[in-house]
Structure 1
Amino acid sequence: MSETNRVEYKQELTDSLEKEVIAFLNYKEGGIIYIGIDKLGVAVGVKDSDSDQLKIKDRLKHNILPSCMGLFDVISESNNGLDIIKIVVASGSEKPYFLRKFGMTEKGCFVRIGTASEPMPQKRIDELFAKRIRNSISKIKSNRQDLTFEQLKIYYEATGSKLNDKFAQNLELINEDGFLNYVAYLLADHNGNSIKLAKYNGINRVNLIENNEYGYCSLIKAAKQVLDKLELENKTLSKITSKERENQRLWNPIALREAVVNAIIHNDYSNEVPPKFEIFDDRIEITSAGGLPDALNQEEFFDGVSIPRNKELMRIFKDLDMVEQLGSGVPRILESYPKECFKFSDNFLRMIFPVAEIGNKVNSKEVPDSGGAIGGAIGGVIGGAISILTERQKEVLEIIIKDDKISYRAIAEQMSINESAVSKHIEQLKEKGYIERIGGTRGFWKVKYPIQ
């Protein structure tokens, strides 16, 4: 593969690295730099990958302005048995980026043109500086300056890192005037930010059955609470076939996690509007404030072009292993859900994931649609209601399928539980419409719906 407008090869780590990174930061699509691959695309490897990675991170941190922390990834890869280094660079939102020692001049600013990194004309430098985003949350002063960060320190320690006395400055939690900024406010132990998670009975917002709030604490803690809650809601559906039991989650767990984290990281907090999560019988909706960045169109968005709205949050979520490499989130979601699941507006981005289409046919018979809900039958549709079995109920049903005349005592012995518990499971299976008794107590069980 040859070099392109988004791919640069370097045989070894040289003094021109910052120039190449700046060119991609100033380019609307960002780019990728490979070190240990020659100009012909042939891997030659690097001698000390670990040492070079540390040097790269240090050089980019100290030699480029505005700060590009959170806008690049340094990844170790193998090519034909040789160690190479991959640097993924996102397009920055605070253009122009420049070499610290030369400032915003043609000697310090570069942009990608074709396969080369060229000096940026001074007129273009001045135009970009005039448009530079000034209302990013890193520049907004926190309305509280007595913030504490014990939760954030604990999360860093859990990854084997420890925040030192200068962590607020290193993590860019301080604005240009030396005050704690809105990023610090969001990550503090106590704040006024809260993420809403609502659950409805049905396919519209009429019947609210749960209204949860996760927040007033570090955004990291709130994000983990949302992920834990959705993990509980993302139930496993099962279907017994003649050969095996097939399991499927309501939503693809990888795509769901990517969507949740992306919504939280890329949300526009400048208007104090948090992301929102809503669960319906037929879908989950994830809404984040803020449309696409001005420099990004939908095609580039789906291709994985990354322009982090909140690079400080991106950097911290990456530090805590809650984010994969830059630009990987949307492509990972598209592996499970089509582009039509994304809805764009000027002020919001919404992702709509339908529940898994399981159980539309049971025993070769069509199941009636449940009032328009996607999937028709999820774990058995009885009178339009969605009934999902517990693991114990599934075990009982599997036993009955194998022997429809089995006694409560025999079921209890197989499951190592008492007969009273078996009786409760049987009653629940009958209430949900999976089984019915034919011929009285000495008759047999008729299985109406196997596990779907």
Structure 2
Amino acid sequence: MKTVSASSDDVKILLSVKEDHFNDVKSARIAPAKLQETFVAFANSDGGDLYIGIEDRKVTTERIIGFAEAEDANAIISTLLEETKPAVESVFVEFIQVSSKGLVLHFAIPKSPKVHYTASGDCYIRVNAATKKIKGERITQLAYSKGSEIYERKAVDDVEVEDMAESPFLKDYMERVDSNIDPVSFLRKQRLLTKSGEERIPNVACVLLFDEDPQATLQTRCAVKVYRLRTSDQDYKREQLAEMPATINGPIEVLIQKTIEKVAEYVHGASFKDGDKLVKLAYPAEALKEILVNAVIHRDYSLNDDIHVRIFDNRIEIRSPGKLAGYMTVDNLYEDRFSRNPNIVRMLHNLPNPVNHDIGEGLDHAKNELRKAGLIPPSFEEAENSFIVTVKHQKIASVEDVVIKHIKDNPESIITNRLVRQLSGEEDMQKVKKALQRLRQDGVIVPVDESAKAFNFSYVKAKH
């Protein structure tokens, strides 16, 4: 296990750690079983950093009292890494040597796609700076939110298989995928029936896909509400609604299509004042479609809430019930893949001309479409029980602006065509080349080597 030496600056950082949703400090005297509660809470929530060997802020004398030897922490390490059930994967562990004050033990705990328990069988979550024990239904809800248990597979006891087999939406789907087997066999084959007692009955995914009114059948809020708001303020008043919110119901394909149409209707022709200028709202339809589709197919259907699409004067906010599932975070959305509702995603993707891309590709496509339209990428935020995507009506800075800002922040930087393409998101080499030439003509940058070959040409900040 790695041991690093702490500089004076590192010590200041350690002492400045505040106990919050993502950080905690504990005394080296803590009982391993008690510490395991915090460890489990971080893994079950959004991850975090745990430092052992730092006394509470209330201590007025020396706060860093670490372990004299690494072996003194063996009981803690063993309890946290070996006795947590199931084991938390990808935990980073290190010792931090703080001069003569001993070793501070540091655990960097990732957000886990599983539900974890202490050695005594208790389950905890992190709520702000506190560790909270949860039981029963709350643990089930945690499993649904993480995706470790699949809510879409839950049986819907008051729905008959025969009723679903006669659904016109199921008939239409089977015709499009060219299936000639009987409807009940089709539902069973597609894992849309779940065992309940001695029989198999339609599950949540089946109802969402093929029931005429899933919102009524499931007795939960799983519609989409679309608002047009005459304001750019974060908080809005009822009188700023252009009209009453539109509530959209129906099976998932209908829900998606009607939502896309309603959003397009509210956006088309809408405008707002930017100073003395009238700016028309113009968002690429494909980008909005991808984000809306994601909101519908990846939301947490175990939560009794609707998707809310709010069209402001300067942005569109899509609030989808449920935080990101599994190990997904705001930072890895474009790189990693995880599906909370795999059957729904698969069934839609099996259609000719599916509304959804492969998992993870939809957001890439949305970002690219926004960039082509000259708009900045969407922003992402996790709230307590929801995931929010915001599409701002904000223009991307020009390539020249990106270069100017970069050399202002990094005056010694070597500017290349490739670097500028990475910084700006502009993929066209010729556009970047012309932008660099304009900056050179304006005396902002100068060549490093006039005789360099085209592909090796680079610039530095001009000295004035």
The bucket for the TM-score relative to the shorter chain is 0.3 to 0.5
Higher helix share: 2
Taking structure 1 as the reference length, what is the TM-score of the superposition? 0.44
